[in-house]
Amino acid sequence: MTDRSAAYDATPLDQAERYRSGVLKYAQMGYWDPDYEPRETDILALFRVTPQEGVDPIEAAAAVAGESSTATWTVVWTDRLTAADHYRAKAYRVEPVPTTPGEYFAWIAYALDLFEPGSIANLSASIIGNVFGFKPLKALRLEDMRFPAAYVKTFDGPPAGIVVERERLDKFGRPLLGATIKPKLGLSGRNYGRIVYEGLAGGLDFTKDDENINSQPFMHWRDRFLSCMEAVNRASAATGEVKGHYLNVTGATMEDIYERAEFAKELGSVVVMIDLVIGYSAIQSISKWARRNDVLLHLHRAGASTYTRQRSHGVSFRVIAKWMRLVGVDHIHAGTIVGKLEGDPNTVRGFYDILREPHNPVNLERGIYFEQDWAGLRKVMPVASGGIHAGQMHQLLTYLGDDVVLQFGGGTIGHPMGIRAGATANRVALEAMVLARNEGRDIWNEGPHILAEAARDCLPLQAALDTWGEITFDYTSTDSPDFVPTPTPT
Amino acid sequence: MKVTAPAPGLDPGTSPSPDSTATSEFDLGLARDESQVDELLATLDSDLIGLVPVKTRIREIAALLLVEKLRTQAGLSAGPPSLHMSFTGNPGTGKTTIAQRMAEILHRLGYVRKGHLVAVTRDDLVGQFIGHTAPKTKEVLKRAMGGVLFIDEAYYLYRPENERDYGQEAIEILLQVMENQRDDLVVILAGYKDRMDRFFASNPGMSSRVAHHIDFPDYTADELEAIALLMLEQMQYRLSPTARPVMVEYIERRRARPNFANARSIRNALDRARLRQANRLLARSDPRLTRDDLMTIEAEDLRASRVFESADGAAEGAT
Amino acid sequence: MRITQGTFSFLPDLSDEQIRAQVDYCLEQHWAVSIEYTDDPHPRNTYWEMYGDPMFDLRDAAGVMVEMETARQTFPDHYIKLNAFDSTKGVESLRLSFIVNRPRAEPGFRLIRQESAGRAVHYSIQATATDRLAGERET
């Protein structure tokens, strides 16, 4: 840990000095304490701080601690009416970011009493509500958080979770398959339902409303729900499988959301969907509703990349993932690695670990900075969606494992032989790859060969490979981890 | 059954005829190296004392199986080899240990898929009431498949004098599996030689399915001494110079007594010697001990055994 | 028709060799394998009949293959599936489940639509296999 006390005077003040009116350095007001030992019950946060020129990193860290807990820019005597020491967040460690001069990691501890139990709205208002606009900081990013078991236990978590979802669907041993209905906008209810039917009958487990399909002039939500449920049930009877369509219940008000969810339930849907933009309180409400009504809850992370994508500023998606596991969703979009949307392989695998594991050890290569014990909280099924196709099945299975929903929107609907064929191609590719992996074959290297073998018995798969076999999305990631393993000499 | 790759130069496309004996196409040396069976046989020699006739038989069986594999590659077949065995001998002569090693060897040679050992007695196979035996036996068999099933004192399965005994049912099921699923399971029956002989005489079906009978002779006095020293070394004890001849004498006397269980009896004797050593150390006036004190078994620790009492005063089972 | 329940239903029916490989994979993960059968393939029929208890502590697929074979011989015209159970904390459920036997003719399902208020429809699915009188079926 860097000792900056020689260059920068951060000595704590005695009481009289501390509370004399005026402006003090944050580090002297008690927000910087290098000797502080975080308690079991503290909530911890890791920030990536880029101070303005001339601002000392410790002072910047202390300011972040202050402005995300009790401070204001000047001393106030009213602090003395409280056990102020207890409520102050403490920055206890500051280190330069290895790869980027001017950036510093700052570890900050918050007493549990600062937070309302079981409220992500309160948590986010506390941690990110105030500090990000602070002028002395050029940029600020919330990288990671650690939640003690005491805090985790105040949340219900996912209404179903991965295990219950699989038991409800009666589907084990392989990733689930889905597709977003395309085109994004403009279809009528009847036409929309046709696509749902073709996709599900062809072999998908789920189809999906897109995030901006709510209730527009071209299709009212009730008509969409009616058409989709006809399609879902037809497909279920045609295949003998449990099928579902994520009915998007996002609405302008909470009352609208409840009304839509109730209709979905009345029609017998196994799943409903919401967008992140409805807000944390709404998400938590609908999560409780989903549990009460035995319906799966799918979350689209609409809008998240406005603040998660750049490494220098915003909130890392890993924090959002943690908040969403606490708040309680069953599905969340978490990245594909090989598809069209942003996703460094290590960072994305870190997100998946956070959603699926019962316990996360520190793993700097995957961007997991804190050890996190989930205290038995149920697991969230990550969703991989965006520009993936059957030809990448071996990579998807290797990177993402079995507990994931793979969504092939364009990859199903754009199939040259039709939607049903597109669905079948994806399902055959997936099952063949899982079969081969279980047999012990090296699917990473033999993947294309395995797909070609399976395609011999499945014309739709052959057509899919012919159409898209060569497509990849290779761009430099904007959010790769700071700590990448040094290659070991073989 | 896994077959090793053909030796370089051997074209897998040719169908060899029994007449083509002129050129050597089958590399026994290569098959032997690839199976790494020599390594296992060598550890048999180094880890286990004595058992010379047993080790010899095992080498012979390994050779047979290795050659069988090459013959299979050549398209020659004498039918699937019968691998079921019986191990006879007194207790403590290494039957279970050897069974474990045999499982590993069979696995290395590709005759057994997983190479684990499941050791059971009659009670694990036979039920207490009607209908209980078949599922019990089948469950044991399923657990053993892919490896070796070792049935200790197997003759207890056969109790003709008691008509309500269900052992016969277990025997029937075993016979079926031993005949029809030779690829899936190897069975080793073990016990005293005379009782085993009687068991086979009354059960010709069983006898005909067991190809290899291996007898485990009692250890010689020298071998027992070597075993005792090895055990002490493993337990990090040593005998004092005066204790060594006492150990030799102890072994001679104990062997002559009834219920001698070879290596197991040696083990028991050493445990009792340790007990006496501990009490001796505790009774000393000077409580400060050296590392040597902690490690050494003295002559008196052994002499205290009742084995050393006169023949008239010695009770049966004196140790 | 061909119901597509189970992990590998979209592939051609698995050969015994392929089934053995999957069972070996399950045993390597220390999952217990069980066999179940039914003549009622309704998607909500969770509890097929058990063909024996789940088999724990097996090291090799042979034991399972033998039981599967006798199940096929006993119930040749039923759906039979293999399940794998994982007892790890946080899972404690199935990890794999696939069909290993199908009836010669798969009768499929009928979709019943019950119109209710407005345009809403309440759906139910019936397995036509269960149309036979109760006495003609085992359960």
Does A122 touch chain C if contact means CB atoms closer than 8 Å?
no
The per-residue pLDDT for B166 is: 87
The per-residue pLDDT for B13 is: 44
Report the C-alpha dihedral over residues B171, B172, B175, B181, rounded to 10 degrees: -120
Does B92 touch chain C if contact means CB atoms closer than 8 Å?
no
Does A170 touch chain C if contact means CB atoms closer than 8 Å?
yes
pTM of the model: 0.86
Q: Quickly list DSSP for B200-259.
A: HHH-HHHHHH--EEEEEPPPPHHHHHHHHHHHHHHTT-EE-TTHHHHHHHHHHHHHHSSS
* Cβ contacts of A229 on chain C, cutoff 8 Å: 121, 123
The per-residue pLDDT for C138 is: 57
The per-residue pLDDT for A489 is: 36
* Mean pLDDT of all residues belonging to chain B: 86
Select the more confidently predicted residue: A326 or A184. Answer: A326
Does C119 touch chain B if contact means CB atoms closer than 8 Å?
no
Identity of the residue in C10, C18, C91 whose CB atom sits nearest the CB atom of A163: C91
Q: Quickly list DSSP for A237-250.
A: HHHSS--EEEEE--
Identity of the residue in C60, C64, C66 whose CB atom sits nearest the CB atom of B113: C60
* Mean pLDDT of all residues belonging to chain C: 93
Distances in whole angstroms, Cα of residue A487 to Cα of each of A98, A347, B103: 17, 18, 41
The per-residue pLDDT for C135 is: 65
Average pLDDT over residues B205-227: 92
Does B184 touch chain C if contact means CB atoms closer than 8 Å?
yes
**pLDDT tens digits for range A328-370:** 999 999 999 888 776 788 999 999 999 999 999 999 999 999 9
Lowest-pLDDT choice from A119-123, A183-187, A240-244, A433-437: A183-187
Least Cα separation, residue C11 to chain B (angstroms): 27
Other Cβ atoms closer than 10 A to B15: 8
Average pLDDT over residues C110-119: 94
The per-residue pLDDT for B195 is: 94
Residue B23: pLDDT band (50, 70, 90) is low
Q: How far apart are CA C52 and CA C39, in angstroms?
A: 17
Q: Does residue A394 have an active-site annotation? A: no
The percent helix, strand, coil of chain A (3-state, each to 5) is: 40, 15, 40
* Cβ contacts of C61 on chain B, cutoff 8 Å: 146
The per-residue pLDDT for A355 is: 98
- Residue pointed to by tokens 């290993």: C100
Average pLDDT over residues B280-303: 91
Q: How far apart are CA A135 and CA C30, in angstroms?
A: 57
Least Cα separation, residue A402 to chain C (angstroms): 10
When mean pLDDT is compared over A210-224, A316-330, B230-244, B302-316, the highest value belongs to A316-330
Cβ contact (<8 Å) for A431 and C10? yes
Cβ contact (<8 Å) for C5 and A424? no
Identify the burial level of A400 via C-beta atoms within 10 angstroms of its C-beta, where 0-12 means exposed, 13-18 middle and 19 or more buried.
buried
Residue in B closest to C54 by C-alpha: B139
Cα distance between the two ends of chain A: 33
Residue A490: pLDDT band (50, 70, 90) is very low
Average pLDDT over residues A104-131: 95
Report the percentage of chain A scoring pLDDT > 70.
Answer: 94
The per-residue pLDDT for A342 is: 65
Average pLDDT over residues B186-210: 94
The per-residue pLDDT for A437 is: 98
Report the percentage of chain C scoring pLDDT > 90.
Answer: 88
Question: Hey, of C53, C58, C59, which one would you mutate to test binding to chain B, going by the most B CBs within 10 A of its CB?
Answer: C59
Cβ contact (<8 Å) for C94 and A172? yes
**C1: nearest Cα among C137, C114, C128:** C128
Select the more confidently predicted residue: B129 or B214. Answer: B214
Report the C-alpha dihedral over residues B268, B273, B274, B277, rounded to 10 degrees: 170
pLDDT at residue A479 above 80? no
Cβ contact (<8 Å) for C60 and B181? no
Select the more confidently predicted residue: A447 or A478. Answer: A447
Least Cα separation, residue B118 to chain C (angstroms): 10
Question: Hey, of C1, C11, C17, C45, which one would you mutate to test binding to chain A, going by the most A CBs within 10 A of its CB?
Answer: C11
Identity of the residue in C55, C60, C64 whose CB atom sits nearest the CB atom of B114: C60
**pLDDT tens digits for range A345-355:** 899 999 999 99
* Cβ contacts of A431 on chain C, cutoff 8 Å: 7-11
Average pLDDT over residues A296-300: 98
Residue B186: pLDDT band (50, 70, 90) is very high
CB B226 within 8 A of CB B48: no
Please state whether beta strands A372-373 and A271-275 pair in parallel, antiparallel, or not at all (unpaired): unpaired
The per-residue pLDDT for A456 is: 95
The ipTM of this complex is 0.94
Q: Does residue A182 have an active-site annotation? A: yes
Q: How far apart are CA A196 and CA A209, in angstroms?
A: 10
Q: Do chains B and C touch (3 or more CB pairs under 8 A)?
A: yes
pLDDT at residue A311 above 70? yes
Residue C2: pLDDT band (50, 70, 90) is very high
Residue A230: pLDDT band (50, 70, 90) is very high
Residue C134: pLDDT band (50, 70, 90) is low
Distances in whole angstroms, Cα of residue A447 to Cα of each of A422, B71, B233, C13: 19, 37, 54, 21
Chains near A with 3+ CB pairs less than 8 A apart are C
Average pLDDT over residues B68-87: 85
Least Cα separation, residue A174 to chain C (angstroms): 6
The per-residue pLDDT for C82 is: 98
Which tokens is B276 given? 């006496």
Average pLDDT over residues B251-280: 92
Average pLDDT over residues B50-76: 87
Cβ contact (<8 Å) for C4 and A439? no
Chains near B with 3+ CB pairs less than 8 A apart are C
Lowest-pLDDT choice from B62-66, B142-146, B224-228: B62-66
Residue A36: pLDDT band (50, 70, 90) is very high
Question: Hey, of C4, C10, C83, which one would you mutate to test binding to chain A, going by the most A CBs within 10 A of its CB?
Answer: C10
- Annotated catalytic residue: which of A300, A333, A379, A394? A300
The per-residue pLDDT for B6 is: 42
Which residues are CB-neighbours of B146 under 8 A, at least 6 positions away?
A: B112, B113, B114, B115, B116, B184, B185, C59, C60, C61, C62
Angle at the Cα of A227 from the Cα atoms of A224 and A230, rounded to 5 degrees: 145
Q: Quickly list DSSP for B1-31.
A: ---PPPPTT--TT----TT--SS----HHHH
Residue A9: pLDDT band (50, 70, 90) is low
The per-residue pLDDT for A2 is: 43
pLDDT at residue A4 above 60? no
Cβ contact (<8 Å) for C10 and A239? no
Residue A476: pLDDT band (50, 70, 90) is low
**pLDDT tens digits for range B4-18:** 444 443 334 444 444
The per-residue pLDDT for B5 is: 43
* Mean pLDDT of all residues belonging to chain A: 91
Lowest-pLDDT choice from A137-141, A313-317, A414-418, B256-260: B256-260
Residue in C closest to B142 by C-alpha: C63
**pLDDT tens digits for range A42-77:** 999 999 999 999 999 999 999 999 999 987 777 788
The per-residue pLDDT for B7 is: 40
Average pLDDT over residues C65-86: 97
Q: Quickly list DSSP for B75-92.
A: T---SSPP--EEEEE-TT
Please name every residue paired with A151 in a beta bridge, in sequence order, or none if there are none: none
The per-residue pLDDT for A134 is: 85
The per-residue pLDDT for B9 is: 34
Report the percentage of chain A scoring pLDDT > 90.
Answer: 79
Does C55 touch chain B if contact means CB atoms closer than 8 Å?
yes
The per-residue pLDDT for B319 is: 52
Which tokens is A284 given? 């938590």
The per-residue pLDDT for A10 is: 67
